[in-house]
Amino acid sequence: MPDFLFLSTDAMSPKITVELLRQLRQAMKNSKYITEPIQAYIIPSGDAHQSEYIAPCDCRREFICGFNGSAGTAIVTEQHAALWTDGRYFLQASQQMDNNWTLMKMGLKETPSQEDWLVSILPENSKVGVDPWIIAADQWKNMSKALSSAGHSLVAVQDNLIDTIWEDRPAPPSTKLITLGLKYTGLTWQDKVTALRGKMAERKISWFVVTALDEIAWLFNLRGSDIEYNPVFFAYAIIGISNIKLFVDSKRLLDPAVQEHLELDSPSKPELTIQCFPYESVYTELQAVCAALAPKEKMWICDKASCALTQVIPKSHRSVIPYTPLCLAKAVKNPTEIQAMKMAHIKDAVALCELFAWLEKEIPKGTVTEISVADKAEELRSQQRDFVGLSFPTISSVGPNGAIIHYRPLPETNRTLSLNEVYLIDSGAQYLDGTTDVTRTVHFGTPTDYEKECFTYVLKGHIAVSAAVFPNGTKGHLLDSFARAALWDSGLDYLHGTGHGVGCFLNVHEGPCGISYKTFADEPLEAGMIVSDEPGYYEDGSFGIRIENVVLVIPAKTKYNYRNRGSLTFEPLTLVPIQLKMINTDLLTQKEHDWVNDYHKKCRETIGAELERQGRKEALDWLIRETQPIV
Amino acid sequence: MPDFLFLSTDAMSPKITVELLRQLRQAMKNSKYITEPIQAYIIPSGDAHQSEYIAPCDCRREFICGFNGSAGTAIVTEQHAALWTDGRYFLQASQQMDNNWTLMKMGLKETPSQEDWLVSILPENSKVGVDPWIIAADQWKNMSKALSSAGHSLVAVQDNLIDTIWEDRPAPPSTKLITLGLKYTGLTWQDKVTALRGKMAERKISWFVVTALDEIAWLFNLRGSDIEYNPVFFAYAIIGISNIKLFVDSKRLLDPAVQEHLELDSPSKPELTIQCFPYESVYTELQAVCAALAPKEKMWICDKASCALTQVIPKSHRSVIPYTPLCLAKAVKNPTEIQAMKMAHIKDAVALCELFAWLEKEIPKGTVTEISVADKAEELRSQQRDFVGLSFPTISSVGPNGAIIHYRPLPETNRTLSLNEVYLIDSGAQYLDGTTDVTRTVHFGTPTDYEKECFTYVLKGHIAVSAAVFPNGTKGHLLDSFARAALWDSGLDYLHGTGHGVGCFLNVHEGPCGISYKTFADEPLEAGMIVSDEPGYYEDGSFGIRIENVVLVIPAKTKYNYRNRGSLTFEPLTLVPIQLKMINTDLLTQKEHDWVNDYHKKCRETIGAELERQGRKEALDWLIRETQPIV
């Protein structure tokens, strides 16, 4: 799945916000929350961990304005209310917000930035408030600078003002924790802490404040389900050279399995003793740690951490980093994780082979819809061992809906699958052993020549990345154009990146690597990293094509080895047939032709064996038919 | 030529600097130049215009330490003297500097930054001096910040302290100016000023301080020869909505041709009247302009401009831009410039065909050396109409010398051309109608299979870029990997960028576009831009291969036109045969095969006609033989 978020399933009628805005404006003057009235209040869309997906209790921007897209910032002043979002969401935002709100279309020349807009409408010497927990430190800095230079000030409002008016706000989640053994993780959390401390010592760092939820989950070999699709749980950690402080709802630690896993009662070594604190006490505990720092001690914190936590650390002790060592360690999968990811992908392919075999039988009946396929896919996946849930909402789209890149079927858009239209399904799951994400584009009747031509260009791009050989140290963005060359040759393109990092029973989108023209600050690809390879083509109003595999970075054997740098390439983990009917084989080179046959041979052998083992005969027949070599 | 600079021809013995350092340290305490003694003095390598190539009077860093590479910064304190340079120059710098100097090897982990080093050795509350004219504003800012946070301060020393001790410092050049008519430029300077003012008005900018020498030369349709290889002249300009202030040595304006060209006596319109000032008065005149600014007026200055000039402009009026509108306008060549560049490349190809025909005859005699080929190439070019000089020092390299990417033949390294070694020549010239830059790699005997294999991979990369089709708005760095894919497949690579912008009778390296993995801030490619396409492969100690054409960005016709974005591709301007003997045709695809034949057909037709016209029979025979189609 390309890396952007999704609509929720709410219908598209505007939310009535008159009363909410009145209440919020009162709160902005209420001395219970703030010492002096504020003239504007900023409502960003994130949570305290800058998560990509957020829990219902954190959907504050949606609550105040009605717009529920993934990206957007609301600002409310005494007279105005405005929402900034980008081109993907102009239509949706305008439908979901009532006329108390002004839509600020980001990316258009005439649209002012939040800073410029505030400066243009605020009375002199205004105070602008924001919750310091849900704004990242660098965003705070930029906004604060812009406001100060115009005579205003940005102030941290400790009580979130939305929460004060949100009567039925969902409680913060506190789901049961899952402990993961060595069989899945390859490394104990103790080993991971020790390795992390090694990296800290190398850079003379004595403390590290861990704020990203997937980093905490990975470090402690724990999972949760606080956020839909992402098996994470709300927590913070502060790791010292001889301390481990974990901040998490204490109820969660009553579970004996968790107690044992974390060795809460009988730590094996003193420096591996976990001190547990309530989630909320991270602020005061971090203050205490900082108060005891020796003059030259340094503390790591990620640049995506909240302003609130970042500012606790005195500047002289603060070392702000773009990617933490945990982010990097987590991205390079160890042999156990790789094996587990392979297993998860085999099971996922079994479910998809079954799905496609079922679709071939069912579609002619005329009762299969985008939503029913998504449901069927989930049902089939859930039959597989160690299934936990989906890794993102399934994109199931027929014909013109396929051209909406961030489509998700809703009852009012739901189309029926037929023999006449292209069908695109982008789906994935969480298993205890791994995370999957796969897109296939198929036709159940006879595709047009143009559909086949476009599909074949996308396939050529997919193969160009998958089969690319490149030196160690190459950043993923340097491979992005390989995926586009065949499309470009014919004047076509797609307006999203080509790939993103994929977690191992963790977030389906993770840093610090990817394959996209949009970034330059990605980290180099390394053997063991796992990314998606998903070029596409979208013909507005007509059809969408995307071919996505999850691929593993592996060392490549090359004829020569310039300066002993070594080379890398990719191995597909996703093993689901690519529909031959959609390929115009005349457009393939011999090398591409061979790649397709090799890939299908591997699908047949690996998935065939598992289908056989599971006794899924129909799917096996389908697989064998769909993986015949092209000549 | 890849974009880095060259060694000068000085021999490699260390410069004795004891006495010079003593004098400089005295100057650092001399109240004649500074109010308070400074504890360190920074000597950057640039000139007041941040030129890539500099005039002899500006070689201050070389003067003080002996090291004459293109990149490097010297810092002298009361006790220490240190030079920072990068990996290309470690050996050279260590050979050219005596043991008063410490070589700081940039890029190595253990090497401190200039800031860190200064902080580690300076006594408390030190003052560090630098000439504000030869440090860019953003460099000043970074250095100043780092020093202040450690309790020191960066101070601007108006008198350059090196100049005070440099007894035989060459006078700043003041060469004769060349006026260029419409035939070469396509636009009068008046039209260019008017267009510039249009861009300024669009962005509500009332003044623009022009500091880059090639921008001034381009704007006024004037050329000089103040800096070797670059037809520019020392000047500044300040362009207002109704003013033109030109700062240049007044002697240069006595030339009646220049007077007439600039309409100094009888301007056609009041707003096109050029006010001339001495070069040195730019500072005081800019102060005067700034003093008269209305409150909301904004002034453009490039981020590469000197700290001295940048700081004259009050912050509230200053708009610092990475690429000026002149840089962008200059990069997109107009039809007249394109025609002129084509003509220059035809003449240049004539000279090279003659050179190669001559070499074939002469090499068996055993008397042809790297230096003599370079001389011969210059002689042949100089016979062509409107020849002005070389556009950079010729890289003429035999066998292992070819693997030194920034090689330039010196008497002590000079090798003889033979039938046994690969020969690489990278050369170019300035003609009144255009600038050329071409590299060919040839063998006069029988190349080895390995040499042919490597050459063919480089050729495949060259073709992949040259024949690439890509959407409007694509930045050049996205094409860089196309040039490497064939090399990467075999585990090979080259450690320089793939292409740079080329001026039209201007600098052979110009911004704001290029084709390199190293940048992300380049401007998108546009039809009319001219860049080089020059992948290579270098086998240390053995041979070097590079195939370089100058190519023009042109609109491409594609089968489809996604979102009406339009597509671009390249047309080679360089028309010199690529040696067939070096190609392993088995490694070419049909498309590459056709490209070679099409290219050679164009060489034969276009250059053949000119050779015929010039009556150069031997070269014509050579051309016809070398451009036979491959089968």
CB contact under 8 A, B478 and A517: yes
- Residue A290 is predicted with a pLDDT of 98
Confidence band, pLDDT 50/70/90 cuts, at residue B70: confident
| Cα–Cα distance for residue pair B25/B41, rounded to 1 Å | 9
Domain boundary among A309, A328, A347: A328
- Residue B169 lies inside a defined structural domain of this protein: no
- Which whole number is the average pLDDT over A289-310? 95
In angstroms, what separates the C-alpha of B110 from chain A's closest C-alpha? 13
Whether residue A296 lies within 8 A of chain B, CB to CB, comes out as: no
Whether B53 and B194 map to the same domain: the answer is no
User: Measuring CA to CA, how many Å separate B333 from each of B9, B466, B471, B505?
Assistant: 34, 18, 19, 11
- Residue A173 lies inside a defined structural domain of this protein: no
- Residue A6 is predicted with a pLDDT of 39
Higher pLDDT, B282 or A5: B282
Is the pLDDT at B11 greater than 80? The verdict is: no
Give A-chain residues touching B517 at CB under 8 angstroms: 478
Tokens 């300077």, residue located: B189
- Across the interface, of A469, A478, A485, the residue whose CB is closest to B517 is A478
Q: Which residue of B has its CA nearest to A149?
A: B316
Helices marked H in A226-279: 256-261
Is the pLDDT at B301 greater than 60? The verdict is: yes
Q: Is A109 strand, coil or helix?
A: coil
DSSP strand pairing (B236-240 vs B222-223): unpaired
> Taking the CA atoms of chain A, what radius of gyration do you get in angstroms?
25
In angstroms, what separates the C-alpha of B58 from chain A's closest C-alpha? 35
Whether residue A538 lies within 8 A of chain B, CB to CB, comes out as: no
Instruction: Report chain B's mean pLDDT, rounded to a whole number.
Output: 95
Whether A196 and A158 map to the same domain: the answer is no
- Across the interface, of B478, B489, B520, the residue whose CB is closest to A469 is B489
Is the pLDDT at B608 greater than 50? The verdict is: yes
Q: Is the N-terminal amide bond of A512 cis, ω within 30° of 0?
A: yes
CB contact under 8 A, B560 and A480: no
Confidence band, pLDDT 50/70/90 cuts, at residue B92: confident
Q: Which residue of A has its CA nearest to B477?
A: A478
What total of structural domains would you count in chain B? 3
Whether B351 and B493 map to the same domain: the answer is yes
Name residue A207's amino acid. Answer: W
- Which whole number is the average pLDDT over B522-545? 96
- Residue B385 lies inside a defined structural domain of this protein: yes
In angstroms, what separates the C-alpha of A488 from chain B's closest C-alpha? 5
Instruction: Report chain A's mean pLDDT, rounded to a whole number.
Output: 95
- Residue A406 is predicted with a pLDDT of 81
Query: Which one of B149, B470, B537, B560 would you mutate to disrupt binding with A, by most A Cβ within 10 Å of its Cβ?
Result: B560
Whether residue B480 lies within 8 A of chain A, CB to CB, comes out as: yes
Share of chain A above pLDDT 90, in %: 92
Whether B120 and B105 map to the same domain: the answer is yes
Whether residue A450 lies within 8 A of chain B, CB to CB, comes out as: no
Whether A317 and A337 map to the same domain: the answer is no
User: Measuring CA to CA, how many Å separate B488 from each of A569, B276, B440, B586?
Assistant: 10, 55, 22, 18
- Residue A66 lies inside a defined structural domain of this protein: yes
- Residue B109 is predicted with a pLDDT of 83
Is the pLDDT at B565 greater than 50? The verdict is: yes
Confidence band, pLDDT 50/70/90 cuts, at residue A89: confident
Tokens 């995506």, residue located: A304
pTM for the structure as a whole = 0.94
| Cα–Cα distance for residue pair A463/B190, rounded to 1 Å | 53
Whether A153 and A206 map to the same domain: the answer is no
Whether residue B520 lies within 8 A of chain A, CB to CB, comes out as: yes
In angstroms, what separates the C-alpha of B559 from chain A's closest C-alpha? 5
Give A-chain residues touching B484 at CB under 8 angstroms: 470
User: Of chain A residues 69-108, which have a CB less than 8 A from chain B?
Assistant: none
- Which whole number is the average pLDDT over B70-98? 93
- Across the interface, of A469, A490, A492, the residue whose CB is closest to B488 is A469
- pLDDT (tens digit per residue) in A40-50: 999 999 999 99
- Across the interface, of B481, B560, B565, the residue whose CB is closest to A482 is B481
CATH of the domain at A599: 3.90.230.10
- Which whole number is the average pLDDT over A620-626? 98
- pLDDT (tens digit per residue) in A198-216: 999 999 999 999 999 999 9
Give A-chain residues touching B560 at CB under 8 angstroms: 490-492
Give B-chain residues touching A493 at CB under 8 angstroms: 471, 562, 565
- Which whole number is the average pLDDT over A481-486? 98
Neighbour count for residue A422 (Cβ, 10 Å): 26
Is the pLDDT at A12 greater than 80? The verdict is: no
Q: Is A598 strand, coil or helix?
A: helix
| Cα–Cα distance for residue pair A33/A163, rounded to 1 Å | 11
- Residue B108 is predicted with a pLDDT of 86
Whether residue A468 lies within 8 A of chain B, CB to CB, comes out as: yes
Whether A496 and A519 map to the same domain: the answer is yes
Is the pLDDT at B4 greater than 60? The verdict is: no
Range of the domain at B89: 17-164
| Cα–Cα distance for residue pair B283/B3, rounded to 1 Å | 32
- Which whole number is the average pLDDT over B63-80? 95
Is the pLDDT at B5 greater than 50? The verdict is: no
Confidence band, pLDDT 50/70/90 cuts, at residue A308: very high
Confidence band, pLDDT 50/70/90 cuts, at residue B88: confident
Whether B304 and B433 map to the same domain: the answer is no
Give A-chain residues touching B480 at CB under 8 angstroms: 478
- Residue B520 is predicted with a pLDDT of 74
Decide: A160 and A131 in contact? Cβ < 8 Å. Answer: yes
Q: Which residue of A has its CA nearest to B520?
A: A520
- Across the interface, of A491, A520, A559, the residue whose CB is closest to B491 is A559
SS3 content of chain A, % helix, strand, coil (to 5): 40, 20, 40
- Which whole number is the average pLDDT over B403-423? 93
Residue of B415, B418, B420 lying closest to B396 (CA atoms): B415
- pLDDT (tens digit per residue) in A360-392: 999 999 999 999 999 999 999 999 999 999 999
Decide: B527 and B557 in contact? Cβ < 8 Å. Answer: no
- Residue A405 is predicted with a pLDDT of 85
Q: Go through A97-117 and write b for each residue having 16 or more CB atoms within 10 A of its CB, e for each that does not.
A: beebbebbbbeeeeeeebbeb
Half-sphere exposure of B400 (CA within 13 A, CB side): 6
- Across the interface, of A470, A480, A492, the residue whose CB is closest to B488 is A470
- Across the interface, of B484, B488, B562, the residue whose CB is closest to A493 is B562
- Across the interface, of A469, A481, A491, the residue whose CB is closest to B559 is A491
- pLDDT (tens digit per residue) in A256-269: 999 999 999 999 89
CB contact under 8 A, A482 and B478: no
Decide: B567 and B556 in contact? Cβ < 8 Å. Answer: yes
Give A-chain residues touching B449 at CB under 8 angstroms: none
- Which whole number is the average pLDDT over B468-485? 97
Whether residue B469 lies within 8 A of chain A, CB to CB, comes out as: yes
Whether A276 and A364 map to the same domain: the answer is no
Query: Facing residues of A227 across strands?
Result: A230
Domain boundary among A328, A352, A377: A328
In angstroms, what separates the C-alpha of B468 from chain A's closest C-alpha? 7
Share of chain B above pLDDT 70, in %: 98
Give A-chain residues touching B483 at CB under 8 angstroms: none
- Residue A520 is predicted with a pLDDT of 74
CB contact under 8 A, B489 and A558: yes
- Which whole number is the average pLDDT over B386-409? 94
- Residue B284 lies inside a defined structural domain of this protein: yes
- Across the interface, of A469, A491, A589, the residue whose CB is closest to B567 is A491
Confidence band, pLDDT 50/70/90 cuts, at residue B7: very low
User: Of chain B residues 558-597, which have a CB less than 8 A from chain A?
Assistant: 558-562, 565, 567, 589
Confidence band, pLDDT 50/70/90 cuts, at residue A3: low
Give B-chain residues touching A470 at CB under 8 angstroms: 481, 484, 488
In angstroms, what separates the C-alpha of B570 from chain A's closest C-alpha? 13
Is the pLDDT at A336 greater than 50? The verdict is: yes
CATH of the domain at A91: 3.40.350.10
In angstroms, what separates the C-alpha of B298 from chain A's closest C-alpha? 17
- Residue A456 lies inside a defined structural domain of this protein: yes
Whether residue B124 lies within 8 A of chain A, CB to CB, comes out as: no
- Residue B12 is predicted with a pLDDT of 67
- Across the interface, of B480, B492, B565, the residue whose CB is closest to A560 is B492
Confidence band, pLDDT 50/70/90 cuts, at residue B549: very high
Give A-chain residues touching B562 at CB under 8 angstroms: 491-493
Whether residue B336 lies within 8 A of chain A, CB to CB, comes out as: no
- Which whole number is the average pLDDT over B260-285? 96
Query: Which one of B481, B516, B538 would you mutate to disrupt binding with A, by most A Cβ within 10 Å of its Cβ?
Result: B481
Residue B210 token pair: 């022009």
CB contact under 8 A, A565 and B589: no
Whether A251 and A118 map to the same domain: the answer is no
Confidence band, pLDDT 50/70/90 cuts, at residue A1: confident
Work out whether the CA dihedral B577, B582, B588, B593 comes out positive or negative: positive
Whether B450 and B565 map to the same domain: the answer is yes
ipTM at complex level: 0.93
- Residue B59, phi then psi, degrees to nearest 5: -80, 60
Give B-chain residues touching A481 at CB under 8 angstroms: 470, 478-479, 481-482
Give B-chain residues touching A558 at CB under 8 angstroms: 489-491
- Residue A8 lies inside a defined structural domain of this protein: no
CB contact under 8 A, A493 and B469: no
- Residue A297 lies inside a defined structural domain of this protein: yes
Whether B321 and B405 map to the same domain: the answer is no
- Which whole number is the average pLDDT over B166-183? 96
Is the pLDDT at B494 greater than 90? The verdict is: yes
- pLDDT (tens digit per residue) in A430-465: 999 999 999 999 999 999 999 999 999 999 999 999
Give A-chain residues touching B567 at CB under 8 angstroms: 488, 491
**Helix (H), strand (E), coil (C) string for A308-372:** HHHHHCCHHHEEEECCCHHHHHHHCCCHHHHHHHHHHHHHHHHHHHHHHHHHHHHHHHCCCEHHH
Domain boundary among B328, B356, B376: B328
